[in-house]
C-alpha cells in the first residue's frame, strides 16, 4: 500500500501508541508528518522525548482534529492517514461525555471528509476492544455485537460506523484496526499496568486498584505498532475491521501479582471506590480472536501467551523504573 516515497500522516502522534508508531515509521524510511494537539507550551507530547535522528526527519503539524480546516490543511499532500487522535480515558468520559463526541466522532468525520476531498490512498481508523463491551462469547471475533457500555465506547462505535459508512457510501479506502488493551513505555498512569508499576516503584506495598476480577487481552505496544503498519500495507484490509490482540486472557488481579513478582515485591491489593466503573459499565471480559489478522495481514503477536506477556511487562517495568521516566508520573494521584 505504501513505501518510503509515500507521505504518511499520523494523527495523535504525540500520544502513547502514536509516538511509538511515528518513530517506527521513520525508522523504516517513510516520509512522516506528525499531527499533534496544539497547545501554548509548544509541546509535542511524547515526541519531545524522541531522538534527534527521528525528529530531524519528522514534519510536525500542531492542530486539533475537531477543526476541519486545520485537518484538511494538515492532510494536503499525504497519501496515507493513520488516524489515532482520540480521547480514550473511560473514567473521564463519565465526567465529560460531550468532549468525546466532539473529538472521537466529529474529529473522525473531519478526517474522513478531508480524505475524500483530497483523494488519499488509504485511511486507517483506530477502533478499540471496548466497543465489544463484556464478551458474549470468547474469543471475541470481529462479528461480536457492539455494546456501548461507556460514553467512550459509544463514541468509538459511532466513529467506527462513520468510517465504514464512508467506505460504503463513497468508496473511500478505509480500514479499521481494533487493538485490544495496549501497554508499554509512555502509557498514561490512568491505565492499569502503569498504575500498578508506578505505585510499586514509588515504594507502596498496598496497591490501590478498581475491580480486580475483569479480564483483559493485553498487547505490548511493539505488537500494536506492527499491527498498524500491517493494516496500512495490506490491500486486503480495505473495508475490513481487524482485531489486533494477543489471544491471551488474564485478570487484573493476576496482572498485578505478575508485575509484583517481576519487580521482586510483595503487595496487597485494596479496592478504591473511586476507581470502580459503574456496575453496568464495567467490561468484565475481553479476549481477542486474532485469526483474521493472521489470515489477512500475516500479522501475529511477538509477545504472546504468558511468556510474552511477562517479557513485555519486564520491558515496561524497566522503562517506568528509570528515575527520569518515573518522575513524570504522579503515582499517588488517581488519574481520570
- Is pLDDT above 60 for 1? no
4: confidence class by pLDDT, cuts 50, 70, 90: low
Please say whether the beta carbons of 2 and 8 come within 8 A.
Answer: yes
Return the exposure string of 229-238: e unless at least 16 CB atoms fall within 10 Å of the residue's CB, then b: bbbbbbeebb
Residue 264 lies in a domain: no
* Per-residue confidence (pLDDT) for residue 237, from 0 to 100: 98
Identify the bridge partners of residue 126 per DSSP, sorted by sequence position.
177
Write out the E strands in the chain. 7-11, 31-37, 58-63, 80-83, 122-126, 174-179, 181-183, 206-209, 215-216, 218-220, 241-244, 250-251, 268-271
Domain range for 41 is 7-182+219-244
Residue 334 lies in a domain: no
pLDDT tens-digit map of 269-309: 999 999 999 999 999 999 999 999 999 999 999 999 999 99
Residue 198 lies in a domain: no
Of all residues in the chain, the percent with pLDDT exceeding 90 is 96
Residue 90 lies in a domain: yes
The domain that holds 110 is classified in CATH as 3.40.50.720
Residue 293 lies in a domain: no
- Is pLDDT above 70 for 2? no
pLDDT tens-digit map of 211-220: 999 999 999 9
Q: Which helix (H) or strand (E) holds 226?
A: helix 221-233
Please say whether the beta carbons of 142 and 292 come within 8 A.
Answer: yes
**Nine-digit cell string for 6:** 509515500
Number of compact structural domains in the chain: 1
- Is pLDDT above 60 for 241? yes
Residue 113 lies in a domain: yes
CA distance 329 to 201: 11
Residue 214 lies in a domain: no
Please say whether the beta carbons of 148 and 281 come within 8 A.
Answer: no
Residue 126 lies in a domain: yes
Amino acid at each position: 500500500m505504501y513505501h518510503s516515497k509515500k507521505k504518511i500522516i499520523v494523527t495523535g502522534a504525540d500520544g502513547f501508541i502514536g509516538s511509538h508508531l511515528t518513530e517506527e515509521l521513520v525508522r523504516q524510511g517513510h516520509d512522516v508528518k506528525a499531527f499533534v494537539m496544539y497547545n501554548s507550551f509548544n509541546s509535542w507530547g511524547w515526541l519531545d522525548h524522541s531522538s534527534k535522528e527521528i525528529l530531524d526527519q519528522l514534519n510536525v503539524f500542531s492542530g486539533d482534529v475537531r477543526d476541519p480546516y486545520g485537518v484538511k490543511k494538515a492532510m494536503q499532500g499525504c497519501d496515507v492517514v493513520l488516524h489515532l487522535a482520540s480521547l480514550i480515558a473511560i473514567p473521564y468520559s463519565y465526567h465529560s461525555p460531550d468532549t468525546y463526541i466532539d473529538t472521537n466522532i466529529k474529529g473522525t468525520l473531519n478526517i474522513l471528509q478531508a480524505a475524500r476531498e483530497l483523494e488519499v490512498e488509504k485511511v486507517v481508523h483506530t477502533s478499540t476492544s471496548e466497543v465489544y463491551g463484556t464478551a458474549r462469547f470468547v474469543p471475541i471475533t470481529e462479528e461480536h455485537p457492539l455494546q456501548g457500555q461507556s460514553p467512550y465506547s459509544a463514541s468509538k462505535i459511532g466513529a467506527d460506523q462513520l468510517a465504514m459508512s464512508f467506505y460504503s457510501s463513497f468508496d473511500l479506502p478505509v480500514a479499521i484496526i481494533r487493538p485490544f488493551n495496549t501497554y508499554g513505555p509512555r502509557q498514561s498512569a490512568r491505565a492499569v499496568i502503569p498504575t500498578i508499576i508506578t505505585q510499586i516503584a514509588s515504594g507502596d506495598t498496598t496497591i490501590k486498584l478498581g475491580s480486580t476480577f475483569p479480564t483483559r487481552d493485553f498487547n505490548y505496544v511493539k505488537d500494536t505498532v506492527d499491527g498498524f503498519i500491517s493494516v496500512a500495507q495490506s490491500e486486503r484490509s480495505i473495508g475490513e475491521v481487524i482485531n489486533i490482540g494477543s489471544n491471551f486472557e488474564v485478570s487484573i488481579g493476576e496482572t498485578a501479582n505478575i508485575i509484583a513478582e517481576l519487580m521482586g515485591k510483595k503487595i496487597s491489593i485494596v479496592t478504591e471506590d473511586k476507581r470502580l466503573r459503574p456496575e453496568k459499565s464495567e467490561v468484565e471480559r475481553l479476549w481477542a480472536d486474532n485469526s483474521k489478522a493472521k489470515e489477512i495481514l500475516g500479522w501475529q503477536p511477538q509477545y504472546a501467551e504468558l511468556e510474552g506477556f511477562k517479557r513485555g511487562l519486564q520491558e515496561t517495568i524497566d522503562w517506568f523504573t528509570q528515575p527520569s521516566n518515573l518522575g513524570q508520573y504522579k503515582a499517588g494521584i488517581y488519574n481520570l
